[in-house]
Structure 1
């Protein structure tokens, strides 16, 4: 079986998106740009139609498919952040021209949805002490960007 790639349909922004994402994440690069050999609803002959890129070691293809197919939050990419500094770094970059949502979710300027999640959050939400997990969940649902210190305080039963 061949590799599985995530395919992203964009409206004329495939190159810009691929360049932004590969510049943001480590172990990332543009692999190949393909130019169309004819006019099509999303562009003209000679335009870039697809950009294959690697994002943190994973394969993606961005296509200039034209209008009418925006991303929804039914699909998102999740970033596993080691600490608050990483959360802040990715949150800042992805929110530029984008829209923060809630519970660590954000829609970037290309319309793609992301979950910027500190590694500790899923661990605390799965804690066998269900009262602790509930306090963490209650704290998280009140947040837009996740605050690691606040969820740790909630886990301990304290307010941050």
Structure 2
């Protein structure tokens, strides 16, 4: 039987293998897969990497060295649920290192331009609180942050 799970394809400009190795170093439950290379038939130089398969937390990806025609943008992002501030800090620091960019409300771009949301699971609880005043205060606090701070969000929620 064939695996019917979706595979996410990510388009890179020649650095797909570097990206796959980076991502598998960031996420503990990950692994590299097969690498396909151009042959003498082309269209790229023989031996150059065309695709690299990799897996992060059970999600399969393929990095395609497609060229400069397409770039990542914020319309697609990957959300990383974090159980505590230590996880938030780890993913935030690692993914913004070496040229990554911080954005608002837990969003960032890594050094390859891919967008991520580093989100504490506690945030969902705070934003969906039955007490709408608490949820509003947590939302207002979140909107003022770049990297999300769980303690500050909880404090804001409580007023």
Alignment partner, residue 46 of structure 2: 45
Q: Secondary structure of 2:157's partner?
A: helix
Alignment partner, residue 81 of structure 1: 82
Q: 1:6 aligns with which of 8, 33, 37?
A: 8
Confirm or deny that 1:95 pairs with 2:96.
yes
Deviation at 1:127, TM superposition (A): 1.2
CA–CA distance in structure 1, aligned partners of residues 38 and 31 of structure 2: 21
Question: Which ranges in structure 1 are unaligned for 5 or more consecutive residues?
Answer: none
CA–CA distance in structure 1, aligned partners of residues 42 and 92 of structure 2: 37
Equivalent runs, 1:48-67 vs 2, <5 Å: 48-67=49-68
Alignment partner, residue 142 of structure 2: 140
Equivalent runs, 1:109-128 vs 2, <5 Å: 109-128=111-130
User: TM-score, normalized by length of structure 1?
Assistant: 0.94
Question: Which stretch shifts more, 134-143 or 29-38?
Answer: 29-38
Q: For residues 52-107 of structure 1, what are the alpha-carbon distances to aligned partners after superposition, in whole Å with 9 as ceiling and x for unaligned?
A: 11101110111000002000000000000111110000000000111001000000
Q: Secondary structure of 1:67's partner?
A: coil
CA–CA distance in structure 2, aligned partners of residues 24 and 114 of structure 1: 13
Deviation at 1:112, TM superposition (A): 0.2
Q: Secondary structure of 1:79's partner?
A: strand
Q: How many residues align structurally?
A: 155
User: TM-score, normalized by length of structure 2?
Assistant: 0.94
Question: Which ranges in structure 2 are unaligned for 5 or more consecutive residues?
Answer: none
